[in-house]
Amino acid sequence: MQQIKNYINGQLLDSVSGKKLENCNPATGEVYSFLPDSNEKDVEIAVQSALQAFPAWSVAGIEKRSNILLKIADLIEQNLEKFALAETNDNGKPLWLSRKVDIPRASSNFRFYATAILHHSTETHYLENNALNYTLRSPIGVAGCISPWNLPLYLFTWKIAPALATGNCVVAKPSEITPMTAFLLSEICIEAGLPAGVLNIVHGLGHKVGAAISGHPQIPVISFTGGTSTGAQIASVAAPMFKKMSLELGGKNPNILFSDCNFEAALNTTVQSSFANQGQICLCGSRIFVERPLYEKFKNAFVQKVSEMQVGDPLLEESKLAAVVSKQHMEKVLSYIELAKQEGGNVLCGGRQASVAGRCEKGWFIKPTVIEGLPFNCRTNQEEIFGPVVTIMPFDTEEEVLMYANSTKYGLAATLWTNNLTRAHRMAEKLHSGIVWINCWLLRDLRTPFGGVKNSGVGREGGFEALEFFTEPKNVCIKL
């Protein structure tokens, strides 16, 4: 059994209490490692280590910080296979996906922010013949970073990299369900020469470790990605303490297809945007709206393709979908399929657990599921399912589909398929969404602002937005 350790003050440690939690491989349903069941005492030690490291790290200079972060990026790349296998064993996702997306992206996150700080500048405001203002940007102190299980290392590093690059020290918590690659990252940080206490990783449960981080009086800035209800709990603690917060939360993203779209591109990409990572990406589209003249043709071709997707052992190249993250999550997703049926939905394909023979016979797999016949405002079409389940329905007019698309409490991402340029711009402006993809999906440029509106979040990450989030601006005014 592998033993995952906390990374505090440069050392790999068990929890203060000595208690441990079991960590499962979702593809086999078996416990394969243990992680520290940490509590507020471990968080306290981590915060004090970070506070001790802060004075030196915050003035280390951008070149030194950049070099260390680049070294971390290199080491992740050099250990790609080890990281990819660890991510797959921990999360259940196909190995090809971990290898192609999750781990390379984690390395890019470090590389991007290691170099971004070299090119970042602050503003000046000149008042003619009177005064010169300039903005100083300083690191804030100890940043709390809390991340979810769906893209474990990818999202963990998306927060940590800009926080460290800008000179903050960090106390971070990965999801207790997928802690392994964060542990491997600790080992790499030690090898890369990251000074002790600059990054601290405390493993354990959300209501213990996560709550201790978000409520800690010496952590003035919190970056959180996860569910909307957890985001609300964190905000209820952190807001009265006047902490700076970035909350990246849930979604219920619309996929809108007009009859004039490029059919093949729309079809192939919608299969991806519906079921990539078993539908467990906050950016996956879970409601597909198709203009009526195209509806039957698209539906039939889509269902055909989805029915052919192989659900299987994540280690096999041919498995398009693999395990969902946990038994509890599988049961939640299956319960939504039952709800959809009660609400009058017609299951066009999938609709049940998938059995995978051999080493995965006790694993947690779900067949990709397409449901039609549901009204836009039923629970299935309003609540986040976060699994391989999509609904499909026709629409007649732009106004109607905008109303459907904007009807949920969420507003993270939307995908639009049309070759009508004017309509594309008009719709993009009217969609209640932090991100709109036109004739594409998940085409990511790390320089762009990333985040949601309504209950999908508060604030933006990505690009220079993250550098600004993790620094405090100060205006200095000089009388001329």
Q: Considering only 6-14, 23-31, 123-131, 224-232, which stretch makes contact with ligand NDP by CB under 6 A?
A: 224-232
Nearer to ligand NDP, 210 or 220 (CB): 210
Residue 251 interacts with ligand NDP (CB under 6 A): yes or no:
yes
Nearer to ligand NDP, 212 or 348 (CB): 212
Q: Do the bridges between strand 30-36 and strand 20-25 make them parallel or antiparallel, or are there none, so unpaired?
A: antiparallel
Please state, in angstroms and rounded to a whole number, the distance separating the CA atoms of residues 246 and 248: 7
Nearer to ligand NDP, 151 or 290 (CB): 151
Nearer to ligand NDP, 253 or 471 (CB): 253
Nearer to ligand NDP, 65 or 173 (CB): 173
Q: Considering only 38-46, 144-152, 238-246, 271-279, which stretch makes contact with ligand NDP by CB under 6 A?
A: 144-152
Report the residue from 36, 314, 388, 452 that binds ligand NDP according to the rule CB under 6 A.
Answer: 452
Q: Is 363 helix (H, G, I), strand (E, B) or coil?
A: coil
For residue 157, CA distances in Å to 75, 250, 449 come to 14, 19, 16
Burial group, residue 272, by CB count within 10 angstroms (0-12, 13-18, 19+): middle
Report the residue from 19, 207, 379, 425 that binds ligand NDP according to the rule CB under 6 A.
Answer: 207
Q: Considering only 220-228, 349-357, 365-373, 441-449, which stretch makes contact with ligand NDP by CB under 6 A?
A: 220-228
Q: Considering only 65-73, 110-118, 164-172, 175-183, which stretch makes contact with ligand NDP by CB under 6 A?
A: 175-183
Q: Token pair for residue 57?
A: 């790290």
CB contact at 8 A, 433 and 412: yes
**Around 57, how many Cα atoms within 13 Å sit in the side-chain half-sphere?**
28
Q: Considering only 82-90, 169-177, 289-297, 466-474, which stretch makes contact with ligand NDP by CB under 6 A?
A: 169-177
Among residues 24, 261, 282, 360, which one is catalytic?
Answer: 282
Residue 414 interacts with ligand NDP (CB under 6 A): yes or no:
no
Report the residue from 36, 210, 350, 388 that binds ligand NDP according to the rule CB under 6 A.
Answer: 210
Q: DSSP secondary-structure letter at 102? A: I
| CB contact set of 308 (below 8 Å; sequence gap of 6+) | none
Residue 101 interacts with ligand NDP (CB under 6 A): yes or no:
no
For residue 391, CA distances in Å to 257, 292, 340, 369, 386 come to 13, 15, 9, 8, 13
Residue 386 interacts with ligand NDP (CB under 6 A): yes or no:
yes
Work out the widest C-alpha separation in the chain, in whole angstroms: 79
Among residues 40, 87, 176, 248, which one is catalytic?
Answer: 248
Residue 39 interacts with ligand NDP (CB under 6 A): yes or no:
no
Q: DSSP secondary-structure letter at 148? A: -
Nearer to ligand NDP, 148 or 312 (CB): 148
Burial group, residue 266, by CB count within 10 angstroms (0-12, 13-18, 19+): buried
Residue 425 interacts with ligand NDP (CB under 6 A): yes or no:
no
Least distance to ligand NDP from the beta carbon of 213, Å?
A: 7
Nearer to ligand NDP, 87 or 176 (CB): 176
Nearer to ligand NDP, 232 or 403 (CB): 232
CB contact at 8 A, 56 and 195: yes
152-165 and 103-119 helices, crossing angle to 10°:
20
Please state, in angstroms and rounded to a whole number, the distance separating the CA atoms of residues 165 and 422: 41
Residue 384 interacts with ligand NDP (CB under 6 A): yes or no:
yes
For residue 289, the cross-strand partners are: 256, 393
- Amino acid, single-letter form, for residue 330: M
Q: Considering only 45-53, 88-96, 227-235, 440-448, which stretch makes contact with ligand NDP by CB under 6 A?
A: 227-235
Site string for ligand NDP, 271-310 (x = CB under 6 A): -----------x----------------------------
Q: DSSP secondary-structure letter at 280? A: -
Residue 226 interacts with ligand NDP (CB under 6 A): yes or no:
yes
For residue 116, CA distances in Å to 69, 102, 109, 110, 462 come to 11, 21, 10, 10, 11
Binding-site size, ligand NDP (CB under 6 A): 33
Residue 457 interacts with ligand NDP (CB under 6 A): yes or no:
yes
Nearer to ligand NDP, 149 or 395 (CB): 149
Sheet containing strand 2-3, strands side by side: 2-3, 30-36, 20-25
Report the residue from 109, 214, 278, 418 that binds ligand NDP according to the rule CB under 6 A.
Answer: 214
For residue 36, the cross-strand partners are: 20
For residue 224, the cross-strand partners are: 146, 247
Residues near ligand NDP (CB under 6 A) are: 146-150, 155, 173, 175-177, 205-207, 210-211, 214, 225-227, 230, 233-234, 248-251, 282, 384, 386, 412, 452, 456-457
Catalytic residues: 248, 282
